[in-house]
Amino acid sequence: MPRLSDTMEEGVLAGWRKQVGDQVQRGEIVAEIETDKALMELEAYDDGVLEKVLVGEGETVPIGTPIALLGDGSGATAEATAPAPAAAEKPEPEPAPAVDAATDSAATPAVNGPEENGSVGTKPKASPLAKAIAREHGLELAAIAGTGPGGRIIRADIDAELAKEPQPEPQSRPQPAVEASASAPSPVADEDVEEIPLSKIRKVTAKRLTESKQQAPHFYLTSAIDVTELIEFRGNLNERLQAADGPKVSVNDLVVKACATALRANPSVNVSFAGDKLLQHKRIHLGVAVALDDGLVVPVIPDADRKSVSEIATEGREKAGRAREGKLKLDEMNGSTFSVSNLGMFGIEEFSAVINPPEAAILAVGATREEIQHRDGEFVVRKIMRVTLSADHRAVDGAVGAVFLQQLTGLLEDPIRIIA
């Protein structure tokens, strides 16, 4: 199982494109892997024949776990890695007594490779994840029938075993078995509660954002921006673009471009905190948060300051669509130096976003609302949009963030400067 993202710890083998016995060429797609961010295609590293599949479809395994064997078609690779038959039908108890090497070699057939669990044919085969869950719940692997390749015990087998009867809470030390009293009430599941397993994306989102809030001291700056001129400017721009068969530009596209322009003028915000130093990013790569049914992903628009608003609109819409289909490539979600999160389309007027590490800041954009203001001796109705900058105080000082937000406000209130 390859590491396909910087935060990936395990992957789901979503599907095999090749079957056992198929010829495989280097660079050819052999399988689909569901990572913590997207569905990725796995390319073969070498030429050969797929001799054996070690991980079935739908199975989750940690990175580094062998998932298949590639050989010359003779089957020698699969045979060399196959476990030798056990000396006895019943597995030996743990820990096994020391055995003289000569006696051991006579009693147990030789093998060319170690078992995945570290023993020589005396323990049931199980995936590392299955072993961990079994150990946590005190289950004996020898009593569980494996349904994976070659009788291997997979997570689904452990889950099925746990579903048979209520299991005790995991304990750090083994406790003596106690026979339940006949009068003791059995636990009853709450019919009003449904357990929903976390998706890969939501697991990683929860982990990364928890680490962000725990490690990065957030501070927040909010500005109320008069976007009356911006809304009118957008309407005129879209009329011109549509007349030329161009893309439709959203308010968020203009905000993204304005952020990129402000970052170019304020490079002190385009940084990352790295322990005893700051990383000053020379290029401006904007992440734009996209909400999915099972989590959040952040497609990246590289070099956003060098692109026109129409280019940002086209690229952003195309990547958001593929993000919802789970078809974004890994490099399209990595490398952002600043992010924008917009909940205005849901009517949210103001909110504070959590910084997307390793970035040092993120802008939260709210909805546009008409408000009455007093200007030049009279009351007027203006369109107001509130934005909040969340910044990592280890990397960005309050005054630096305030200057950035001040310049961003100036760009959005005088929108011709965004495209100038």
Number of domains present in the structure of the chain: 2
Question: Is 61 contained in some domain?
Answer: yes
Give the count of beta carbons closer than 10 Å to the beta carbon of residue 143: 9
Same domain (yes/no): 123, 247? no
**Separation of alpha carbons 131 and 120, rounded Å:** 17
Residues 124 and 215 in one domain: no
Residue 368 CB contacts under 8 Å (≥ 6 apart), including other chains: 227, 231, 251, 344, 383, 384, 385
Pair (143, 217) in one structural domain: no
Task: Look at residues 102, 135, 164 and tell me which one is the last residue of a structural domain.
Answer: 164
211 and 160, same structural domain?
A: no
Asked whether residue 382 is domain-assigned, the answer is yes
The answer to whether residues 154 and 218 belong to one domain is no
**Which of helix, strand or coil describes residue 201?**
helix
- With beta carbons less than 8 A apart as the criterion, state whether 129 and 60 touch: yes
Note whether residue 157 is domain-resident.
yes
pLDDT of residue 84: 47
Range of the domain at 20: 10-164
Query: Per residue in 130-175, pLDDT tens?
Result: 776 777 677 888 888 887 766 778 777 777 887 775 544 444 444 4
pLDDT given at position 14 = 85
Beta strands 378-392 and 361-375 are antiparallel
Q: Residue 129 has what pLDDT? A: 65
94 and 16 in a common domain: yes
Q: Give pLDDT, residue 124.
A: 74
Residues 139 and 208 in one domain: no
Residues of the chain with confidence (pLDDT) below 70: 5-7, 36-37, 75-123, 127-129, 132, 136, 149-150, 165-189
393 has catalytic annotation: yes
**CATH number for the domain harbouring residue 36:** 2.40.50.100
Whether 111 is in a domain gets the answer: yes
Catalytic entry in 137, 218, 281, 393 = 393
- What local confidence, expressed as pLDDT, does residue 134 receive? 77
42 domain-assigned: yes
pLDDT tens, residue by residue, 9-46 = 888 888 899 999 899 988 888 998 887 667 778 888 78
